């Protein structure tokens, strides 16, 4: 198809190159700004030596002035000073990467914030100060090739491996901080905030999404004058196990809890799209939360929160940890490390186990399910974990399994030609699109997805590797 009017290819490439160069320039300017904040912090230390009694007020005054001069919130200024201090004290290589424009300030924030377990372990004398360099080098390698969101996930995993026991202790201490708070907003609204273990929060959000999707589909189906017999999934009760089933993946040394079925979001129903009953998907999620909390009663019959999770969560845990032979960290796929006790509880209530075979680098090579279609789906969910478009972090459970080389063009239905794409990126390679907007995707031998844009530029997305905690 060539029906669209094409701007000159050279013009489009020039604009793209100029934008990339400008982003690098912004990063270099951010590095300069961090240098200035580090200089100001040094002056602050000198002021405190002269007037130690007023240390707290002097810092508050300094933050207030930079906040007023920069027209930004004091919290953002506090974070900027903290990042500048971390760059100058522990992350010289990251600072240099920012100066060179190979990473952004968002990457810097992700790497520094994920380093807290390293700082604690060094402060407590459990690991040497040189551990910062190992963490920094591994995190920069990710940041220079991936988005800040994915970098944060990888950095948390790297920190967990280096810090070891410190992470498990931090997780167990943090559980004591769980709470629910309410902050009154304007116009009769309020902000309800729950501080929970991450696995609970992810499962709650996923279940609300599943309920909202089912309600929206039922509303749409009722509004449509159709002749269907009512057997389609749109009419399933929101808690039908086909909508929120989960099972567990397992191997000679690695197991993973994994959704039993794929549940891609409808292409035409984004979070803010209006459904047939006049509500957006986000509004239905909020209403479902209210209904579940106010209309349901506590009951021992339903068990604990872990017993009752019926949502899409994928967890990888070593077989020896699952058996109680060691206490290695598990992994909440796409998020970061998970307390092994929580992983064992999830495994106890899982409806099925998938065994994963990993190569020495942590790459999933195959699963041990032999039914062709189901085995392929399980393999792809375990390998991909999220959408395989560069920078996207939509979980695989909400993605669509697609042929990289279109089936209509002879692409085989085999693992080397299949990958998970989210509803936002999947349509980019539709064969009916005009070449001016159509992308292509080709899978390399190591599972890397090489996307080619309409401009002919190539962008690689590497399959995520699992971290083997020791």
Confidence label for 87 from pLDDT (cuts 50, 70 and 90): very high
pLDDT value at residue 187: 77
Residue-wise pLDDT tens digits, 171-226 = 777 777 888 888 888 778 888 988 888 878 888 888 888 888 878 777 666 655 44
Mean pLDDT of 51-72: 84
CB 261 within 8 A of CB 250: no
Question: Lowest mean pLDDT: which of 65-74, 230-239, 379-388?
Answer: 230-239
Look at 287 and 347; give whichever has higher pLDDT. Answer: 287
Q: Give Cα 412 to chain centroid, integer Å.
A: 30
pLDDT value at residue 240: 44
Question: Exposed, middle or buried, 78 (CB in 10 Å: 0-12/13-18/19+)?
Answer: middle
Residue-wise pLDDT tens digits, 320-369 = 777 677 787 777 766 677 777 877 777 766 655 555 656 666 666 554 43
Question: Nearest-CA neighbor of 135 among 98, 99, 110, 165?
Answer: 110
pLDDT value at residue 25: 95
Query: Tokens representing 153?
Result: 């996930």
Q: For tokens 């980019």, name the residue.
A: 428
Question: With 60 as the cut, is the pLDDT of residue 310 above it?
Answer: no
**CA–CA dist 383, 356 (Å, integer):** 9
Query: Tokens representing 203?
Result: 């499962």
φ/ψ region of 122 (left if φ > 0, alpha if ψ in -120 to 50, else beta) reads alpha
Say what angle helices 74-89 and 105-113 make with each other, to 10 degrees.
80
Helices (H) and strands (E) counted in the chain, each on its own, are: 16, 14
**CA–CA dist 348, 308 (Å, integer):** 12
E strand or H helix that includes residue 261: none
**CA–CA dist 391, 29 (Å, integer):** 24
pLDDT value at residue 91: 92
Question: Nearest-CA neighbor of 255 among 171, 355, 404?
Answer: 355
CB 338 within 8 A of CB 329: yes
Question: With 60 as the cut, is the pLDDT of residue 60 above it?
Answer: yes
pLDDT value at residue 290: 85
Question: What b/e string do you get for 388-416 counting C-beta neighbours within 10 Å, with b at 16 or more?
Answer: bbbebbbbbbbbbbbbbbeeeeeeeeeee
pLDDT value at residue 204: 87
pLDDT value at residue 372: 32
pLDDT value at residue 46: 86
End-to-end CA distance of the chain: 54
Question: Exposed, middle or buried, 286 (CB in 10 Å: 0-12/13-18/19+)?
Answer: middle
**CA–CA dist 430, 437 (Å, integer):** 10
pLDDT value at residue 92: 92
Residue-wise pLDDT tens digits, 415-426 = 888 889 988 888
**CA–CA dist 412, 442 (Å, integer):** 12
| C-alpha to C-alpha distances, 253 to 258, 321, 335, nearest whole angstrom | 16, 9, 21
In 164-197, which ranges are continuous DSSP H helix?
165-174
Look at 59 and 101; give whichever has higher pLDDT. Answer: 101
Query: Tokens representing 213?
Result: 């999707």
Question: Exposed, middle or buried, 298 (CB in 10 Å: 0-12/13-18/19+)?
Answer: exposed
Question: Nearest-CA neighbor of 31 among 93, 78, 100?
Answer: 100
pTM of the model: 0.58
**CA–CA dist 57, 59 (Å, integer):** 5
Question: With 70 as the cut, is the pLDDT of residue 312 above it?
Answer: no
Residue-wise pLDDT tens digits, 317-330 = 777 777 677 787 77
**CA–CA dist 140, 107 (Å, integer):** 9
**CA–CA dist 9, 174 (Å, integer):** 53
Confidence label for 261 from pLDDT (cuts 50, 70 and 90): very low
Question: With 60 as the cut, is the pLDDT of residue 256 above it?
Answer: no
Mean pLDDT of 411-417: 76
Beta carbons within 8 Å of 28's beta carbon, 6+ residues apart: 98, 99, 100, 101
pLDDT value at residue 131: 87
pLDDT value at residue 20: 93
Q: Name the DSSP class of 127.
A: S
| C-alpha to C-alpha distances, 80 to 33, 72, 83, 106, 109, nearest whole angstrom | 9, 11, 5, 11, 9
Most confident segment among 19-23, 209-213, 443-447:
19-23
Question: With 50 as the cut, is the pLDDT of residue 444 above it?
Answer: yes
Beta carbons within 8 Å of 16's beta carbon, 6+ residues apart: 455, 457
pLDDT value at residue 316: 76
Look at 156 and 432; give whichever has higher pLDDT. Answer: 156
pLDDT value at residue 297: 59
For 382-431, the three-class secondary structure string (H helix, E strand, C coil) is HHHCECCCCCCCCEHHHCEEEECCCHHHCCCCCHHHEEEECCCCHHHHCC
**CA–CA dist 331, 310 (Å, integer):** 19
Beta bridge partners of 452: 440, 458
**CA–CA dist 260, 255 (Å, integer):** 14
Confidence label for 165 from pLDDT (cuts 50, 70 and 90): low
pLDDT value at residue 107: 95
pLDDT value at residue 362: 66
pLDDT value at residue 410: 63
Q: For tokens 């004058």, name the residue.
A: 225
Say what angle helices 9-50 and 74-89 make with each other, to 10 degrees.
90
Mean pLDDT of 127-135: 88
């Amino acid at each position: 198809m060539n029906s669209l009017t094409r701007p000159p290819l050279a013009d489009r490439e020039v604009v793209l190159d100029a934008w990339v160069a400008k982003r690098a320039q912004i990063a270099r300017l951010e590095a300069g700004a961090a240098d200035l904040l580090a200089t100001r912090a040094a002056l602050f230390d000198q002021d405190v030596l002269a007037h130690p009694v007023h240390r707290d007020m002097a810092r508050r005054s300094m933050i207030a002035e930079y906040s007023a001069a920069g027209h930004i919130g004091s919290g953002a200024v506090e974070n900027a000073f903290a990042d500048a201090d971390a760059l100058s004290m522990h992350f010289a290589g990251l600072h240099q990467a920012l100066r060179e424009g190979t990473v952004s300030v968002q990457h810097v924030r992700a790497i520094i914030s994920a380093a807290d377990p390293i700082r604690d372990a060094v402060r407590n004398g459990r690991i040497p100060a040189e551990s910062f360099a190992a963490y920094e080098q591994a995190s920069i390698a990710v940041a220079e090739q991936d988005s800040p969101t994915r970098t944060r996930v990888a950095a948390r995993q790297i920190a967990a491996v280096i810090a070891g026991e410190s992470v498990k202790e931090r997780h167990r201490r943090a559980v004591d901080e769980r709470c629910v708070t309410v902050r009154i907003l304007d116009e009769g609204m309020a902000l309800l905030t729950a501080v929970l273990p991450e696995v609970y929060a992810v499962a709650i959000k996923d279940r609300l999404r599943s309920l909202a999707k089912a309600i929206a589909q039922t509303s749409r189906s009722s509004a449509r004058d159709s002749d269907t017999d009512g057997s389609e999934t749109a009419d399933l009760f929101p808690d039908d196990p086909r909508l929120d089933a989960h099972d567990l993946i397992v191997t000679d040394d690695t197991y993973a809890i994994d959704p039993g079925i794929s549940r891609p979001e409808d292409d035409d129903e984004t979070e803010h799209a209006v459904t047939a009953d006049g509500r957006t998907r986000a509004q239905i999620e909020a209403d479902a939360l209210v209904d579940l909390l106010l209309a349901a009663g506590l009951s021992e019959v339903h068990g604990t929160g872990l017993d009752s999770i019926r949502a899409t969560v994928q967890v990888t845990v070593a077989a020896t940890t699952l058996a109680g032979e060691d206490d290695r960290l598990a992994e909440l796929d796409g998020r970061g490390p998970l307390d092994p006790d929580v992983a064992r509880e999830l495994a106890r209530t899982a409806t099925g186990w998938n065994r994963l075979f990993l190569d020495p680098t942590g790459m999933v090579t195959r699963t041990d399910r032999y039914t062709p279609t189901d085995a392929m789906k399980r393999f792809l969910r375990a390998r991909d974990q999220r959408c395989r478009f560069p920078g996207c972090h939509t979980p695989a459970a909400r993605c669509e399994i697609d042929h990289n080389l279109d089936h209509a063009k002879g692409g085989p239905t085999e693992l080397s030609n299949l990958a998970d794409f989210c509803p936002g990126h999947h349509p980019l390679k539709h064969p009916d699109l005009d070449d001016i907007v159509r992308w292509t995707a080709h899978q390399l031998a190591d599972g890397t997805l090489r996307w080619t844009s309409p401009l002919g530029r190539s962008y690689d997305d590497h399959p995520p590797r699992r971290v083997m905690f020791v």
